[in-house]
Amino acid sequence: MKKILQKPIVKKILILFAVIVGFLLLLDNVILPYYVSSPETIVPNIVGFTEQAAFERLLEADLDPVISDTTFDLKYAKGTIVLQNPKADQVVKVGRRVHLYLSGGEPVVRVPSLKGKSIRDAKLSLERIGLKLGLVDELPSGNPRNMIFDQQYAEGTPLKKGEVVGVSVSIGQGGGAIVVPDLIGMSLVEAQKILADSSLTLGKINYQRSFSLLPNTILDQYPSKGNKVNVGDAIDLFVTKSGDAGDEKDNIE
């Protein structure tokens, strides 16, 4: 009985042994000789190249370029190579993959909400993320005195570090006869109609990109709702546009 059970086990061991021997022979006679004898090339230096130029240069050297990551870098322009692996002048096998790291340009930060803050607190909030406090307009409003009630860029707007953000600070209730309507969330066409019906005019339109809202949607306004202004005064609007083309800002008078 034991002999009957041992036969399949012995057979499996012999098959496994044969597979291992076959693999070792293949490795010794085919794979290793091919790897050792395969042609070599020198990795070119493509740091500072544009992505297209770097790919062309590496392909000419019979290498396989691949973008591994994007990083912000002040030294290299956006879209250029800041790092490569393997490094330049290394001798590698033809067809070796070369990992490239692309510059995303200068780092950007998102504008924080400054409404309801004092000038001192707003300045600290901006400096903490690399922005600066810009022009401070002191205007009448229904908000408490010395409180920021409006800001140049809506919360979440992307800006490069070092840019400035202006704010509007309340000096108390104004003496105008017209109460500024709430336009946030409306379309630009609706806002224009309401302003005309309120005897007010359309001021500066600040276009900001948005990936979530429809184009021409009002994000913010200046002066803000509830302020008292005079007949014919202009209301500045912050309006969305398509976010497909980047993060730049466009202002239209």
| Residues 244, 156 within the same domain | yes
The pLDDT assigned to 243 comes to 61
The pLDDT assigned to 38 comes to 66
The pLDDT assigned to 248 comes to 42
Look at residue 137 and tell me if it is in a domain: yes
| Residues 95, 195 within the same domain | no
pTM as predicted: 0.41
Q: What is the largest CA-CA distance in the chain?
A: 110
| Residues 135, 198 within the same domain | yes
The yes-or-no verdict on residue 249 having pLDDT over 50 is no
The yes-or-no verdict on residue 19 having pLDDT over 70 is yes
Task: Count the alpha carbons within 13 Å of 137 in the hemisphere toward its beta carbon.
Answer: 13
The pLDDT assigned to 212 comes to 84
Higher pLDDT, 81 or 170: 81
Query: Per residue in 86-136, pLDDT tens?
Result: 999 999 999 999 999 999 877 889 999 999 899 999 999 999 999 999 999
Could you give the number of structural domains in the chain?
2
Angstrom distance (rounded) from CA 61 to CA 86: 13
CATH code: domain of residue 183: 3.30.10.20
What mean pLDDT is predicted for residues 214-220?
A: 92
Query: Per residue in 167-187, pLDDT tens?
Result: 999 877 655 778 889 999 999
The pLDDT assigned to 5 comes to 47
Higher pLDDT, 218 or 105: 218
Tell me whether residue 28 is exposed, middle or buried, using C-beta atoms within 10 angstroms of its C-beta: 0 to 12, 13 to 18, 19 or more: exposed
Helix (H, G, I), strand (E, B) or coil at 60: helix
The yes-or-no verdict on residue 83 having pLDDT over 70 is yes
| Residues 94, 131 within the same domain | no
Q: What is the mean pLDDT of the chain?
A: 83
Amino acid at 110: R
| Residues 221, 154 within the same domain | yes
List the domain range (segments joined by +) for residue 73. Answer: 40-103
Look at residue 18 and tell me if it is in a domain: no
Pairing of strands 81-85, 97-103: antiparallel
Tell me whether residue 195 is exposed, middle or buried, using C-beta atoms within 10 angstroms of its C-beta: 0 to 12, 13 to 18, 19 or more: buried
The yes-or-no verdict on residue 12 having pLDDT over 70 is yes
